[in-house]
Chain A
Amino acid sequence: MRLQSITLTNFRQFRGVQTFDFSSDSSKPVSLLFGANGAGKTTFLNAFTWVLYGTMSEDVEEQDRMVTDSVWRALPIGSSTEVAIELRLDHEGQNYRVLRSASLRKQSDLQPKSSPEVQLWATKSDGSSEIVKAPQEAIHKILPEGLSRFLFFNGERIEKLVKKGAYAEVKQDIKVLLEMEHVERAIAHLPKVDRRLTQELKKYGGDKASEIQTEIDDLRERETNAHSELDGLEADLATLTEERERVTDLLRQHAVAAPIQAQRDAVTNELKDARNARAAAVAERANLIATRGFLAFTETLADKTLETANSLYQKGALPAPLKREFVDQLLEQGACICGTPLIEHTGAWEHVKEWRQRAGLQAVETVWQQLSGQIAPLSSKRAELREDFEQITKRISDARDRVDTLEASKSELDGKLLDDRLEDAPELETRRMDLESRIGVKQQRIGSITSELERIKNDIDKKTRERSRAEVTDELASKARTRSDLVQSVRRALIEILAIRENNMRVRLDAELKKVFRSITHQNHIPTLNEGFELTLHKDVDGVQLPVPKSTGENQILSLSFVSAVSKIARENRKERRAEGQPPKDAGVYPIVMDAAFGSLDEDYQQAVSRALAEMAPQLVVLVSKSQGLGKVVTELMPHVSHLGVIQTHTTAPENGTDHIELEGVSHPYIVAAETDHSELKVIK
């Protein structure tokens, strides 16, 4: 299939009727279109999928606004307008015209959802054309929709092709392109044909042949059931394996993080202890102050008390060491301890009585004795308090320093482990082990069903041989037997052909992928398409193959290389001798339309990709912005360009600056001031 031209009518930004020609030969297979951001490159890319399948990619916003905004705005309420795309192409020696169009009646400024209709015309060699019935079916026949992901794509999003989880879909789509899907379908359909044929054999084949056929039918039924169980198990296994990969990935990151995690756990425990120690020391100090703090203020008081006591002592004002009770007893007895009689109002009696005034009370003396006894030890208690206080203050200060240090360490380790995917390693490990065991169970079951299928197959072969030998007199039954044998041998051959094609395709795709990738990248990375159709990247370090984490740019290059390899193998594939018979001349030829081909690539990669692009497909349409496409890209691509164009942005906001683009030494308007916002396709050559 080759593109000839596209005509857009009021299709989103493209106001009015605008055409771009793609017809080219193999020497100059490239059409190059420049457009500013928002000019309509993505819209132009989506024009192809819309005209062919009525679909647009998810990144196209406001998908209901199909008609150019200014056209819709100017349309009177109650009037209708048309949105349409016409694509001309040739395929296997026949020219086609595809037209998808919708008429929209205006009832408000909001555009209604369109219901486009598709029509297809085939042009005969005499120039006359005829309408093709069931046009959508015919379009799918020319270009199956599953293939569009390889043929019409956004360079910035193409890396999705090589992301995990895409393999199964990619493999399925590739089967169509590489002539495998219909073989699979034939293998699935032939047993039904056989069943119909053997019904006749059972009916007319006589007792022996009928009995054998019934046994074969039973075996076939068991085979079908085993196959469906196997399909289910394989789907489950794929899901479980993908989940295990995801969990293992997280655990792998854990392995890197494990020492940090352990260190953080230790620091966290230590910090807890340090905070407790700090709190305990602060509490101890508070207790010290509460119970013994007053001692700090007793130094002056004690000194002063001692001083006062001493002064009173000096003055003789201190109570004598004589108890008042003792003097009272002498006075009562009327005799002094020296024997002198103490008669009331005598000199001796008066003298002793005077002593009574000077004698102290027992209680006062006791207290005085105690107080004076305590003044001296107070000084040592104060010294003790000071010492204890100094010690506890130092402990608090040390504990604070330790907490500060540990808090800083923990913050740093937290920062390293900030990625929340790195949490919960034990749970992840439990999950991984659970998945592992479930995978094991599934694999075991798959193994036993596979062996059972092998046994059933052998039994069927054996019974079929028996059936061939069984006597069949009825002509119809005999014919049914011959036909059934034919169907079975064809099915066996198809199974072998499919296995050969699958393996062959993968090996060739892998080789081509390696070749294209090597021609683009300057890294010593090697891509591989493994048996599960998974695209991996690794590097050789002294003979050891190490997986390489893929960057966005590398994923793009890998995807481009893969698309290029698929495109090349599809072309080569059809040239070989095939079970389908001789292929048409352009079999396996498909165009590639590519938006933002150089999305995330460095300048040196842009040059290498440009060089590879020119050889990537027999026809290539590249959409680029000025910033992506000038310089090395133009230098590399220009010798291969047959059609050059600009998607001119017409803007009502020229204050943001109009712009020009210089191509082949001539300046062309790129962004121009206009009365309405829209885009125009300008053909430069």
Chain B
Amino acid sequence: MSSGPGEPAAPAIVVLLDRLAEWQAHEGEPIEAALGAIEDEERSARRRLEDAQRQAAALASLRREQEELRHQLEMESLRRRRDGVRDALAVDRSLLEARAGELLELLAARDRELGLLLAAPALAPAVSGYLDATDRLAGARGTGAPAPEDLLPPEDRALLEPYLRAAIAPPPSLGAPPAGVGVVISTDPPQGRPEALLVVLPVPWSVYAGATSRPEDLCTLLAYRLVAAVHALLGEVGAAEAVVRFADLHGSLALQVWLGDTQVVPDLRDRLLEGVAGSVEGAPELNAAGIEVYAVWLTPDILMESGA
């Protein structure tokens, strides 16, 4: 602060303070301006942040909706696959049962013809001898008894030989169009060393549950071959002592094997797929019925309801 004309000069301290105040105001001006600009930017940034947060919240909500839809789609897909597998198993069972019935009729007709041929008087002594031998051997199963034909005189045996061969000849062809049925295989967990194995056969549960009261037909013979394949494989992989349980899965016969107590190789699935194919290869009754067996691997969730 300077003095005007006639005015007394201001004290030095006042002048100094005035000058310092002017200097500070001059130096502080750009700083204040900068701070003001920063505050403006901060406010702007906060607004943008709030907008972004609102947008993120909206997106999160949208994400949850879409994830729920995706989950519903997956559940629906699983449900449809389960239903599809159940339906497919039923279709395969029906096909096999139908052809099993036809094949039984064909075999019965062939047996009737053969039975009439065997009733010829010229064969009577040989047939009578054979039936006597059969009676004598009744109840001797398990004791290493010979087959009845082994007890016949050579001439009677020679006479009966063509009929014995005819009786065990492969079944005649149904002439039905080739059709495939599926054997469903599943391991749990699906990858790595399996702890459980499930094999669903395309045959009705009654093949096991009513084994002694139903005919030993195409379904039964297929089950024998597949059950044998499973046991053979369990033996090969060091799990011969694993307990195999038979269960009714949607009306089909299923084999459940707990492998957790064994050291089973991780490639069990591939070996079983191969084993199934090998077990039915060239099976005369399947050839006669025009049935081809395919092994299909599915994840366990498709076969079993959660907690089932």
Chains A and B form a bound pair: no
